[in-house]
Amino acid sequence: MHQPSLLARRVALLLSGALLAPVALAQVAANQAVANQPVAAASEVATADAALPAQLQDIDVHIESVRKRFDVPGIAIAIVKDGRVVLERGYGVRELGKPEAVDAHTLFAIASNTKAFTATGLSMLAEDGKLSLDDRVIDHLPWFQMSDPYVTGEMRLRDLLAHRSGLGLGAGDLLYWPGTTYSNEEVARRLRHVPLTGSFRGQYAYDNILYGVAQLVIEKVSGQSYEAFLRTRIFAPLHMDETRYNADALRAGDNVATGHAKADFTHLQPAPRMTWSNVAGAGGIYSSVHDMGKWMRVQLAGGVYEGQGESARRLFSQKRQQAMWSVITPIPISTPSVPELLPAKPNFLGYGEGWQLSDYRGNKLVWHTGGWPGMVSRLTMVPELGLGVIVLTSAEQGGAFNAITMRVLDAYLGAPRTDWTAAYGAALAKAQEKADDSWRKHLAARDAESTPSLPLTGYAGTYRDPWYGDVAIEPHDGKLRMRFTASPAMVGVLEHWQHDTFIVRWDQRWLNADAFVNFALTADGGIREMRIEAISPRTDFSFDFQDLRLVPVARDTAR
């Protein structure tokens, strides 16, 4: 998941960067000379805080205050400067109520920070001569289909990476969020039914599903599973030995953090470990700040991971990096939700190939965030300074990673000290206030004396959406229960709200996705369709209920 909303949690549009200027290319070249050693060399990690600027000498105190303010059980951070890892450290515990501490080697879900790995994979195959980013998707996946035939025929590989397809925000996410039984290819094939809400290449709208398609292209072109491609082509050369393809690849004895969510947005609890085996290219990877420091060093070194000059060993060329770090899709810049965040407002904002691009205090930023049930993260680089910072956290609080990141950026930019913890805390409070106001409006509009038009059993049955599939409404102990048939976590009780509208309250309270369920009736009193919409503006955008068009299925055709 960009913290006025949970969109801020995962896409985090609070900071920015710029196109790679000539001075940035010069800095990249300089960084390559510093980073000639293999990126795994342990000697590259500075052991003394003396390597940090004055404003970060109290970094431990700062991070502990952030943990307390945002109620985060565990945080890990790494800072790279001029080819060296100057800090890698963990704070707090791996799981609430247990003693095991977070350290630099603790694995977290990096979620959408995976997207840069997927974009890099396509770039590497392009430099192998096996594809071009200008190829049509159907050149490699002939069965690929969007809901519009023109878009199907014109969709290029680059479009898969740039969030400009015409799909709405998070479109299709329920096919794998918070976890489904669909395969990766089945998710991609269902795209033909996912509605387009904008024009092709006309506007920015963040999606995940097309990165799953990019994963399939990598597998088809390379002849390897995506797991094998990552392991052999990226993880092994960089000695990212701790990094795992997804949650299914975690091993017994791995040092892994547990994610935490505030059930009902109030009380913190561990969230079940999840996997995105069916769209790993969008957000599957688990990694540590120790390994992500190696990833940042290679990025800041222009793709070089060993050697120098003509003999340098590279993941990708500077030319390819410049393409990945160039704006493809401009992103509208909104005014921050609270005045305390105005200094972080960018002058421009855009998306490249797997990277957010913006500016801060006249410096280009290359960055991305990641959001996962129970975990959020942020990776940020300032190419002109040879600076990178990765913050991994085990709670759904983007304010935490933003407050830490901004403190690090200000320290290296020589900016005045700003209380970013208070600023992002104010944004969090504003988001809660907005959610409370929204709920009060619903209460004021409710006709609490109204009754359903039908007996409860009249609403029971199987309802089918063209892209998601089946949702079942079943009688149980005098109540109705809703079950998303492909999503094991999405089971809950329907409570009557008013007229023919109910509220589904999910058994898994950490989902924070209770929703209105509205039944529309025919003139003869039958059910025409069922619509669902999230109650709270804080519900994660990946619960894309609004795109569902659920209609009753005859009993003899229901699955």
Same domain, 413 and 484: no
The answer to whether residue 119 is domain-embedded is: yes
For 104-136, letters b (16+ CB in 10 Å) and e give bbbbbbbbbbbbbbbbbbbbbbbbeebbebebb
| 420 burial type by CB count under 10 A (0-12 exposed, 13-18 middle, 19+ buried) | buried
Instruction: Give CA separation, 329 vs 202, 214, 353, 363, 407, in Å.
Output: 9, 18, 10, 20, 28
In a domain, 9, yes or no: no
Q: Based on the domain organization, do 348 and 424 belong to the same domain? A: yes
The structure tokens 């999503």 sit at 487
- Give the dihedral sign, CA 65/68/71/74: positive
Shared domain for 236 and 148, answered yes or no, is yes
CA-wise closest residue to 467 among 145, 1, 142: 145
Nearest-angstrom CA–CA distance, 26 and 37:
20
Q: How many domains does the chain have?
A: 2
Q: Are residues 196 and 267 in the same domain?
A: yes
Is 45 a domain residue?
Answer: no
β-pair partners for 363: 360
Are residues 425 and 502 located together in one domain of the fold?
Answer: no
Looking at the domain assignment, is residue 32 inside a domain?
A: no
Instruction: Name every residue whose Cβ is closer than 8 Å to that of residue 230 and which is 6 or more positions away in sequence.
Output: 117, 121, 245, 285
Report the C-alpha dihedral over residues 286, 290, 293, 295, rounded to 10 degrees: -40
Give yes or no: residues 488 and 393 share one domain: no
Q: Per-residue pLDDT for the chain (559 aa), expressed as one digit of tens each?
A: 333 333 333 433 333 232 222 223 333 333 333 333 333 333 344 444 768 999 999 999 999 999 999 999 999 999 999 999 999 999 999 999 999 999 999 999 999 999 999 999 999 999 999 999 999 999 999 999 999 999 999 999 999 999 999 999 999 999 999 999 999 999 999 999 999 999 999 999 999 999 999 999 999 999 999 999 999 999 999 999 999 999 999 999 999 999 999 999 999 999 999 888 899 999 999 999 999 999 999 999 999 999 988 889 999 999 999 999 999 999 999 999 999 999 999 999 999 999 999 999 999 999 999 998 899 999 999 999 999 999 999 999 999 999 999 999 999 999 999 999 999 999 999 999 999 999 999 999 999 999 999 999 999 999 999 999 999 999 999 999 999 999 999 999 999 999 999 999 999 999 999 999 999 999 999 999 999 999 999 999 999 999 999 999 986 555 5
What is the CATH classification number for the domain harbouring 526?
2.40.128.50
| 21 occurs within a structural domain | no
Residues 171 and 151: their CA atoms lie apart, in Å, by: 16
Instruction: Report CA dihedral (164, 166, 169, 170) to the nearest 10 degrees.
Output: -90
The answer to whether position 405 is within a domain reads yes
Question: What is the torsion angle, in degrees rounded to the nearest 10, for the CA atoms of residue 480, residue 483, residue 488 and residue 491?
Answer: -30
Residue 34 located in a structural domain: no
Do 468 and 420 lie in a common domain? Answer: no
Entry pTM: 0.91
Helix (H) / strand (E) containing 490: none
Say yes or no: 323 and 413 in one domain. Answer: yes
Q: Is 436 helix (H, G, I), strand (E, B) or coil?
A: helix
Q: State whether 430 and 460 are in the same domain.
A: no
* Cα(288)–Cα(295) distance, integer angstroms: 11
Q: Are 245 and 227 within 8 A, CB to CB?
A: yes
The CATH number linked to 176 is 3.40.710.10
Identity at 164, one-letter amino acid code:
R
Q: Are strands 349-351 and 356-360 parallel, antiparallel or unpaired?
A: antiparallel
* Domain with 527 in it: 456-552
Picking from 401, 435, 469, the residue at the C-terminal end of a domain is 435
On whether both 413 and 483 belong to a single domain, the answer is: no
**What does 437-479 look like in DSSP terms, one character per residue?**
HHHHHHHHH--TT---SS-GGGG-EEEEETTTEEEEEEEETTE
CB 357 within 8 A of CB 13: no
Regarding whether 468 and 421 lie in a shared domain, the answer is no
Query: Do the domain assignments include residue 40?
Result: no
Do 468 and 424 reside in the same domain of the chain? no
